[in-house]
């Protein structure tokens, strides 16, 4: 065998053969070819140990051509004491010269294929022996420690391939077993005989088809939105880095460039934070921290902050009008952080989608429902987006209308989906409604948030 460092290439070739879409019989034939070539041997056989042992091999004759071995010859090899010792022992075994008298019986199996020296190892998967690898050369050969090391390095991968071959064979046998009491071909008859099962089958299939279509839609929207929202910030970062590396800038120019880079970074960071927040909401068993709070004070603090931001934005020139029809010290028992996140996201959305020079109104009322007090927070804004009949889709993840994308409004379409999950967590309800206005291309978006005044601790 060669002393060159080809170990990684050998492993990569073997793994590539395993993961390639094919039946595992062909895969194991391919693996024997790879091992023969990479380990520089004339003979390589893989024997799968199972109820029906299977044999895969590569044999190269003296002319450098592939040769064949009769299957009956291979089937007898596994019965020999030397091969049985390999099967029952984790250590490698080698023979440098089969012409030695003590290997006389074993040599009978190999003389027809002109093999004079052997190296063997067993393969395991999850602690169970499932195969044997035999390597051979056409001449007498003293197997080195490096030869044995190379073989040890591939036994785990070959063991995996042997296991997959057995799984594949088991699946095929079950699929074609005509004596099985139940198979896929029995389903239609079974459904016809059982109306309840037929109804369940039809309903389940429709649900799965609907879920599949929804998954495809979300993936498409996600890819489209992420590409749209990250393209410009990445371009600005690239341009800024190029300028900083190639040009001498004045202090004023440098400050401008750094400000542009910081703005691009903030946009990408906001996208990342939204994705992480969505991931957290979808993957964790969330809880809430129940605390009493002064609702009026919380609303004033939040709305004053947004009113100040909007006044600084001369482009949109939005006005925030509030109407609190509750007591100045109105108590509310809920998770203050979740509620703050909900209100801030709703106000952020209202500011992004409102037409310039318009008014956003936030109204708070209290209602009694079956002796339970409810807090109703209603947020309204005038928009030219969301005026169609698809407003219910606004709560879906990564949903954005094409007109929103074309208008260059920032966002990745997960904010309202996050809001929906947080509202559910604090036992509330949220809805959106689109109402017509006097201007045909504008509509009034009404967001209604209903919260229990006292959150159940259960």
Look at the block and give the residue holding tokens 């909900």: 342
Both 214 and 110 in one domain: the answer is no
pLDDT at residue 309 tops 70: yes
Q: List, in sequence order, every residue forming a beta bridge with 285; answer none if it has no partner.
A: none
pLDDT for 176 = 40
Q: Answer yes or no: do 374 and 347 share one domain.
A: yes
Mean pLDDT for the stretch of residues 418-436: 90
Same domain, 301 and 431: yes
How many whole angstroms separate alpha carbon 21 and alpha carbon 367?
Answer: 63
| 340 and 197 share one domain | no
Residue 185 included in any domain: no
Looking at the predicted structure, is the pLDDT value of residue 301 above 70?
Answer: yes
Are 269 and 390 found together in one domain?
no
Residue 133's domain comprises: 7-174
pLDDT band at residue 344, thresholds of 50, 70 and 90? Answer: very high
Strands 93-95 and 117-125: antiparallel
Domain boundary among 174, 203, 223: 174
Q: What is the pLDDT of residue 380?
A: 94
The confidence band for 18, taking pLDDT boundaries of 50, 70 and 90, is low
Residue 182 counted as domain residue: no
Q: Is the pLDDT of residue 25 over 70?
A: no
When the pLDDT of each residue in the chain is averaged and rounded to a whole number, the result is: 80
CB 438 within 8 A of CB 453: no
pLDDT in tens, 360-419: 999 999 987 666 788 999 999 998 876 666 777 888 877 777 667 666 777 777 888 889
Assess whether pLDDT exceeds 50 at residue 21: no
- The pLDDT value given to residue 84: 87
Residue 147 lies in a domain: yes
pLDDT above 80 (res 201): no
> Within this chain, do residues 316 and 448 fall inside the same structural domain, yes or no?
yes
**Tokens 């070959």 identify what position?**
158
- pLDDT tens by residue, 107-149: 887 877 788 999 999 998 877 888 899 999 989 999 999 999 8
Q: Helix or strand or coil: residue 445?
A: strand
Task: Please indicate whether residue 314 or residue 4 has the higher confidence score (pLDDT).
Answer: 314
Residue 370: inside a domain: yes
Q: Which helix (H) or strand (E) holds 186?
A: none
Query: Structure pTM?
Result: 0.52
- Of 164, 189, 165, 184, the closest CA to residue 174 belongs to 184
Q: Say yes or no: 297 and 386 in one domain.
A: yes
- Specify the higher pLDDT residue, 206 or 266: 266
Residues 427 and 384 placed together within one structural domain of the fold: yes
Determine what percent of the chain is predicted with pLDDT higher than 90.
19
The verdict on residue 2 lying in a domain is no
Whichever domain contains 89, its CATH number is 3.30.450.40
Q: Do 17 and 161 fall within a single domain? A: yes
Give the torsion sign (CA, 179, 182, 188, 191). Answer: positive
Helix (H) or strand (E) run with residue 309 in it: helix 295-312
Per-residue pLDDT, 111:
77
SS3 string, 231-294, reads: HHHHHHHHHHHHHHHHCCCCHHHHHHHHHHHHHHHHHHHHHHHHHHHHHHHHHCCCCCCCEEEE
Whether 454 shows a pLDDT value over 60: the answer reads: yes
- Last residue of a domain, which of 283, 313, 335? 283
Question: Across-strand partners of 435?
Answer: 444
- Residue 285 confidence class, pLDDT cut points 50, 70, 90: low
Residue bearing the bigger pLDDT, 193 or 69: 69
Q: Are 334 and 377 in contact (CB under 8 A)?
A: no
Q: Judge whether 116 and 98 are in contact, CB under 8 Å.
A: yes
Task: Collect all residues with Cβ–Cβ distance below 8 Å to 387 and sequence separation of at least 6.
Answer: 434, 441, 442, 443
In a domain, 255, yes or no: yes
For residue 225, the model assigns a pLDDT of 78
Q: Which residue has the higher pLDDT, 71 or 175?
A: 71
Structural domain tally of the chain? 3
Does 187 reside within a domain?
no
Same domain membership, residue 149 and residue 87: yes
Alpha-carbon gap, residue 397 to 349, rounded angstroms: 15
- How much is the pLDDT for 323? 93
Mean of pLDDT values over 315-326: 88
More confident residue, 348 or 390: 348
**Rounded CA gap, 380 and 445, in Å?**
6
Same domain for 264 and 155: no
Last residue of a domain, one of 144, 174, 204: 174
- The first and second tokens of residue 182, run together, are 């139940």
Q: What is the CATH number of the domain that holds 417?
A: 3.30.565.10
1 lies in some domain: no
C-alpha 77: how far from its chain's center?
Answer: 46
Please report the pLDDT score of residue 199 as a whole number.
Answer: 62
Same domain, 253 and 346: no
């Amino acid at each position: 065998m060669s002393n060159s460092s080809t170990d990684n290439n050998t492993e990569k070739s073997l793994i590539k053969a395993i993961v390639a879409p094919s039946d595992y019989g062909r895969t194991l034939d391919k693996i024997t070819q790879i091992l023969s070539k990479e380990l520089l041997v004339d003979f390589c056989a893989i024997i799968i140990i199972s109820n029906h042992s299977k044999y895969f091999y590569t044999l190269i004759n003296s002319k450098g051509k592939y040769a064949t071995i009769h299957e009956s010859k291979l089937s007898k090899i596994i019965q020999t004491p030397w091969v049985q010792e390999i099967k029952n022992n984790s250590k490698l075994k080698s023979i440098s010269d089969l012409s030695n008298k003590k290997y006389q019986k074993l040599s009978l199996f190999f003389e027809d294929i002109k093999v004079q020296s052997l190296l063997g190892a067993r393969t395991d998967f999850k602690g169970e022996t499932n195969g044997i690898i035999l390597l051979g050369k056409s001449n007498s050969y003293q197997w080195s420690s490096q030869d044995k090391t190379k073989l040890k390095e591939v036994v785990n991968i070959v063991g995996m391939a042997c296991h997959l071959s057995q799984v594949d064979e088991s699946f095929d046998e079950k699929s074609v077993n005509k004596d099985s009491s139940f198979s896929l071909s029995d389903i239609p008859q079974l459904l016809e005989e059982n109306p309840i099962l037929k109804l369940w089958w039809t309903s389940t299939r429709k649900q799965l088809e609907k879920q599949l279509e929804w998954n495809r839609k979300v993936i498409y929207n996600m890819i489209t939105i992420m590409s749209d929202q990250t393209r410009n910030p990445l371009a600005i970062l690239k341009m800024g880095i190029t300028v900083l590396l190639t040009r001498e800038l004045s202090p004023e120019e440098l400050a401008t460039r750094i400000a542009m880079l910081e703005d691009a970074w903030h946009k990408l960071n906001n996208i990342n934070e939204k994705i992480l927040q969505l991931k957290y909401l979808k993957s964790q068993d969330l809880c809430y921290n129940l605390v009493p709070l002064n609702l009026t004070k919380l609303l004033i603090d939040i709305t004053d902050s947004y009113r100040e931001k909007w006044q600084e934005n001369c482009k949109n020139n939005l006005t925030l009008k509030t109407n609190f029809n509750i007591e100045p010290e109105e108590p509310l028992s809920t998770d203050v952080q979740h509620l703050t996140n909900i209100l801030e996201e709703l106000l952020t959305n209202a500011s992004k989608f409102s037409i310039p020079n318009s008014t956003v109104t936030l109204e708070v009322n209290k209602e009694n429902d079956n002796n339970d007090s409810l807090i109703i927070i209603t947020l309204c804004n005038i928009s030219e987006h969301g005026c169609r009949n698809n407003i219910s889709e606004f709560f879906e993840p990564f949903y954005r209308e094409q007109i929103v994308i074309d208008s260059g409004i920032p966002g990745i379409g997960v904010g309202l989906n996050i809001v929906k999950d947080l509202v559910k967590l604090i036992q509330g309800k949220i809805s959106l409604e689109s109402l017509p206005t006097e201007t045909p291309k504008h509509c009034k978006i009404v967001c209604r948030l209903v919260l229990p005044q006292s959150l159940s601790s259960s």
